[in-house]
């Protein structure tokens, strides 16, 4: 396959091309998210004899290593290939999961969680960069939001199913739980290798056809400086704060519900249902992008998170349950739309590296968010701590308002501001109408 965009014969041909690109990614999403240990790994670590503090340290180390490894693994993905980076990452994660099932020494677990964090960094940024560039190559980027929303939905819903199955498999053996997760990751790798072509940064389709004189950036750092408008930097920070709110909120809701009187069975059902809700709502992303646009969806999601945290602070278990199930999915819509903006904003040659930089910011803020929310819940109680943490999404909303009101340009190229023309192709070129590396 060459680096040039294929000529397509019309809207029907574009749709066929998009579906052809998307199908293996949908299968990959199901397999890569069939992690049966995800909902019970804390119980597993407790049975290994680790204290709550030791478990917290493992989780903090996981996010810290993942964040620090984001940029170097992103650069590697641009050099050796996005698919190769995903394969390396998933195989490394699978090996670490098997190691966790085989060993019980805490120092070994520290090493395994470090390896797992590196594996996560290898996958982060490479999967969406590979998907987006394959759509660019086929002249079908107009379908990216819809495809990515389905990709996200399948992954999240599969996670919810895997959580339920993991609890059942644990009755037989922890080895089955962890070996099953590792096997699914290996199958996901096989799907990619057999069905998805490789793309490297030097194959970038937005830097072909005589444009080489304009693209002299030798490193991802220079590329980032070239595309980093103030509004884009603000969006990265705001997106990071949103994830730093949503991820700890989902995890610590388990403790909040328990402290408010919910039994273990109810907590597991609520959290699993939350995964399903968070998985289905991204299907609305394409419609939200066309009718509202990411500029408005961003503050709506942040205010929704603040409301959910505030309602959890009332100390009423059924109010907390209702707030969690109704509101937890809204930020998932925003995540899909913002991911599309990031992909449009960065040049293909450094796409994986730049997306990894963005993922680093998000990982760092998520790690800090865990520590802050945990400290608030320990000091003020779970309910009041949740309500106090609502200050974080409100701060992010305040940071975004100037961009919203001034309609500041987020990307360095033509921006659609959320209209139905998002991702439309330049007539006769087969390339996206969004930013080009110029």
Give residue-wise pLDDT tens across range 19-55.
888 899 999 999 999 988 876 676 688 788 887 567 7
Are residues 299 and 401 in contact, defined by beta-carbon separation less than 8 angstroms?
Answer: yes
CB contact set of 194 (below 8 Å; sequence gap of 6+): none
What sections of 1-40 are H helices per DSSP?
11-32
Percent of the chain with pLDDT over 90: 21
276-315 residue pLDDT tens: 777 777 777 778 878 888 888 889 989 999 999 999 989 8
pLDDT above 60: residue 132: yes
366-378 residue pLDDT tens: 878 877 888 888 8
pLDDT above 70: residue 211: no
Percent of the chain with pLDDT over 70: 79
310-335 residue pLDDT tens: 999 898 889 988 988 888 888 888 88
pLDDT of residue 282: 76
pLDDT above 70: residue 417: no
pLDDT of residue 11: 62
pLDDT above 50: residue 390: yes
**CA 226 to CA 220: how far, in whole Å?**
10
Q: How many CB atoms lie within 10 A of CB 371?
A: 12
pLDDT of residue 230: 80
**CA 373 to CA 218: how far, in whole Å?**
40
pLDDT of residue 31: 94
pLDDT of residue 335: 83
CB contact set of 386 (below 8 Å; sequence gap of 6+): 249, 252, 256, 309, 312, 313, 373, 376, 377
pLDDT above 70: residue 70: yes
- Residue scoring higher pLDDT (413 or 193): 193
**CA 330 to CA 323: how far, in whole Å?**
12
Mean pLDDT across the chain: 78
Are residues 253 and 385 in contact, defined by beta-carbon separation less than 8 angstroms?
Answer: no
3-state DSSP assignment of residue 432: strand
Q: What angle do CA 198, 200, 203 make, to 5 degrees?
A: 100
**CA 157 to CA 280: how far, in whole Å?**
7
pLDDT above 50: residue 5: no
pLDDT above 50: residue 414: no
Cα 18 from chain centroid (whole Å) = 21
Cα 363 from chain centroid (whole Å) = 10
Please state which of the ranges 79-93, 127-141, 374-388 shows the lowest mean pLDDT. Answer: 127-141
- Residue scoring higher pLDDT (76 or 188): 188
Closest alpha carbon to 305 in 266, 340, 253: 253
């Amino acid at each position: 396959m060459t680096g040039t965009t294929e000529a397509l014969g019309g809207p029907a041909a574009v749709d066929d091309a998009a579906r052809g690109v998307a199908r293996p990614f949908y299968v990959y999403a199901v397999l890569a998210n069939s992690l049966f240990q995800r909902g019970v790994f804390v119980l597993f670590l407790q049975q290994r004899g680790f204290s709550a503090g030791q478990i917290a340290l493992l989780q903090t180390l996981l996010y810290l290593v993942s964040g620090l490894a984001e940029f170097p693994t992103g650069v590697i993905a641009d050099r050796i290939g996005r698919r190769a980076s995903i394969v390396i990452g998933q195989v490394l994660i699978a090996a670490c999961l098997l190691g966790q099932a085989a060993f019980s020494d805490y120092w070994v677990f520290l090493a395994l969680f470090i390896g797992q964090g590196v594996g996560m960094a290898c996958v982060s940024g490479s999967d969406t960069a590979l998907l987006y560039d394959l759509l660019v190559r086929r002249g079908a980027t107009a379908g990216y939001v819809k495809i990515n929303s389905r990709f996200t939905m399948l992954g999240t819903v599969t996670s919810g199913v895997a959580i339920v199955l993991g609890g059942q498999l644990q009755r037989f053996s922890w080895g089955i739980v962890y070996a099953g997760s590792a096997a699914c990751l290996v199958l996901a790798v096989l799907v990619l290798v057999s069905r998805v072509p490789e793309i490297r940064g030097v194959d970038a389709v937005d830097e072909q056809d005589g444009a080489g004189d304009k693209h002299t950036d030798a490193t991802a750092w220079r590329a980032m400086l070239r595309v980093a408008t103030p509004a884009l930097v603000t969006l990265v920070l705001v997106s990071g704060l949103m994830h730093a709110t949503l991820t700890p909120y989902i995890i610590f809701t388990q403790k909040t519900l328990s402290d408010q009187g919910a039994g273990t069975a109810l907590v597991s059902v609520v959290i699993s249902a939350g995964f399903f809700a968070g998985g289905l709502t991204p299907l609305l992303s394409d419609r939200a992008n066309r009718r509202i646009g990411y500029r408005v969806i961003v503050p709506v999601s942040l205010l929704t998170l603040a409301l959910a945290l505030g309602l959890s602070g009332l100390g009423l278990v059924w109010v907390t349950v209702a707030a969690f199930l109704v509101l937890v999915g809204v930020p998932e819509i925003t995540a899909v739309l913002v991911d599309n903006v990031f992909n449009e904003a960065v040049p293909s040659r450094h796409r994986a590296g730049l997306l990894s930089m963005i993922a680093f910011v998000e990982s760092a803020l998520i790690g800090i968010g865990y520590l802050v929310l945990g400290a608030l819940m320990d000091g003020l109680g779970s309910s009041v701590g949740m309500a106090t943490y609502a200050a974080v999404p409100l701060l992010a909303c305040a940071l975004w308002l100037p961009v919203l009101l001034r309609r500041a340009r987020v990307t360095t190229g033509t921006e659609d501001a959320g209209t139905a023309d998002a991702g439309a192709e330049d007539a006769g070129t087969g390339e996206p109408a969004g930013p080009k590396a110029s």
